[in-house]
Amino acid sequence: MFKKLSRNLAKVILPALGYLLMRFYWYTSKKNFHVKGQISQDQSIVVCWHGELLMAHQAYRYFHKKQPASCIVSKHFDGEIIANIMRYFSITPLRGSSSRGARQVLLEAFRALKKGDDLLVTPDGPRGPRHTVSDGAIALAHKAKAPVLTVHYIPKRYWQLKSWDRFVIPKPFTTIDFYMENVSLEGMDLNEARIFLRKKMLANTVH
């Protein structure tokens, strides 16, 4: 009973605290944007590593303030917290992962793409291995026939957790360099697209 009550309380309190913390880092940092090509308002598949969730989605919303958007979030308890944080950014969570509810969440993702949503994906989430690109992310990009927008950041000063994703937390009042690029996977098979996208995503990220 106590465990259930504490979890329900955490689902309410932690997302609000997480959102406030994210906005604190955003507003107290100096931001440099390095955009390769042009960021349009057309539909995109937006990708970042799981360890970059703290700032990457905020950078996306900086350029796409009103674009309808959905994101794939795991069904685990920590995924529930992330899902509720995403709602603060007007991003609709689609619950599922490669290990739990994969088929259902892919169907929901295809529906979101069909109605015109941007789709935000962490190709190495929710459990890793770190900096790998899942088949699902490639399949969604091929299905949408839309460009893939890669979003990454490198803070000048930061903490890095010892979690599997080596989660990156910028230190307050630091400078953060954001790197964004539209890339196309058109005409590539699954393996070729995976290698190409991973190389692009690793170009400007904390290792």
List pLDDT tens digits, range 149-197.
999 999 999 999 999 999 999 999 999 999 999 999 989 999 999 999 9
Give the Cα-Cα-Cα angle 50, 104, 165 (nearest 5 degrees).
Answer: 10
Handedness of CA 113, 119, 124, 128 (dihedral sign): negative
154 with 204: CB under 8 angstroms? yes
Peptide bond into 129 cis (omega under 30): yes
Angle between helices 190-202 and 135-144 (to 10 degrees): 100
- List, in order, residues 6 or more apart from 59 with CB less than 8 Å away: 33, 151, 153, 178, 180
Residue from 123, 126, 53 nearest 91 by CA: 53
pLDDT in tens, 64-99: 999 999 999 988 878 889 999 999 999 999 987 655
- List, in order, residues 6 or more apart from 202 with CB less than 8 Å away: 131
The Cα 19–Cα 4 span in angstroms is: 23
User: Which of the 8 DSSP states describes residue 17?
Assistant: H
Handedness of CA 192, 60, 95, 73 (dihedral sign): positive
Structure tokens at 80: 């529930």
Q: In the chain, pLDDT over 90 holds for what percent of residues?
A: 69
Q: Is the pLDDT of residue 140 over 90?
A: no
Confidence at residue 107, expressed as pLDDT on a 0 to 100 scale: 87
26 with 58: CB under 8 angstroms? yes
